[in-house]
A = this chain, B = another copy of it.
Amino acid sequence: MSKDQTKHKSQSPKVPSSTTGYAIDRFKRLQQKEVSVKVIFDEIINKDTAALSKGITLIESTKQKHSKKAQQLVEMCLPYANNSIRIGITGVPGVGKSTFIEALGNLLIQKGKKVAVLAVDPSSTISHGSILGDKTRMESLVRSSEAFIRPSPSGKSLGGVAQKTRESIILCEAAGYDVIIIETVGVGQSETAVHSMVDFFLLLKLAGAGDELQGIKRGIIEMADALVINKADGDNLLRARKAKNQFRKALHLYPLAQSTWSPEVLTCSALEGSGIEDIWELILKYQEVTSKNGFFEENRIQQNKFWLLQTIEEQLKSSFYNNPKIKDELNSQIQGVQQNKITPFAAAHYLLELSKEK
């Protein structure tokens, strides 16, 4: 893999690789339309961030010709992937996700890790923004050469957005990132999608008053491997501790997950940096326990199968609902069904027959 890099260096021998001039030159070359997938691949596994960015841009492109190249690239990277720990982080807006990720990311970099932060946020398509778009919120992490931060890809469907992020994980792993953090916001089905692409799923919460599970979307708690109460500082400290006890009791009542891991509750202050080390140690403990009992590996295998079937089913639905004949008829059938004029099954049968007509 370093062969190509050597060759490349010998082609511009007078420019030391550390200079900005060289970097710009390389960047320009990667920007060229005719740059081959092989070149991008070589640079990615050589840990080149510009190539990684370029590769992810290919993945995110909606152009047909890019899509083919992207698939080739992802497949070339596959044998070099699967060597990181993938951590999903969710929580409602205002819970301090960015500050938390920055604190965790900086700690990991101190420990010699390379950290990639990706996002799944289908809502960013509408706002043309992204939870990670405002990069100033992760200022110090953005500046670190050991961190790679990429906003959520845009896309019409959660499935499309999730696919792009999932393929980007493979590229990041091939580029040598040890820890992949996937951020998502507590909206719609995005947590389920993220949960299905990570090894460890962390739910970030604030200490509130009274019923602590109120306001958490149904089903999310059952996916969490850890529940972390953020902003446990100052006046909030006591409340956070109280909330921690409440959550512990509640989680204790849930059936044990397939991983045999009992989700833990921790507190932290991402702002002050307290409690972050404990969270990382918990994640390492999870990795140890689930690697020993085989769940870690088995879970990734099952996730791969899940995404295969998920993609098929999403494509089938999308081509059905985008059929112009169905678009014309669907609403009136829904209305008929809702007004009890026709059964759901008869309406479905009618629409399915309609979709088969030439």
Contact = CB atoms under 8 A, between A and B. Distances in A.
Nearest to A163: B345
A216 B256 CA distance: 10
A152 to B, nearest CB: 18
Nearest to A321: B312
A189 interface: no
A320 interface: yes
Interface in A316-358: 316-317, 320, 333-334, 337-338, 340-349, 351-352
Contacts of A222: 218-219
A342 B253 contact: no
B255 A216 contact: yes
A304 interface: yes
Nearest to A316: B316
B320 A305 contact: no
B253 A211 contact: yes
A81 B345 contact: no
A233 interface: no
Interface in A211-244: 211-219, 222
Contact of A352 (B213, B312, B338, B348): B312
A93 interface: no
Given A312-B351, A313-B313, A304 B254 contact: no
B255 A212 contact: no
Interface in A144-183: 163, 166-167, 170
Contacts of A219: 219, 222
Interface string A292-303: 000000000100
A78 B343 CA distance: 8
Interface of A: 71, 74-75, 78-79, 81-82, 163, 166-167, 170, 211-219, 222, 246, 250, 252-256, 301, 304-308, 310-313, 315-317, 320, 333-334, 337-338, 340-349, 351-352
Given A78-B342, A307-B344, A315-B348, 13 more contacts: A74-B345, A78-B340, A163-B345, A166-B345, A213-B255, A215-B255, A304-B338, A305-B344, A306-B344, A307-B345, A308-B337, A311-B344, A311-B348
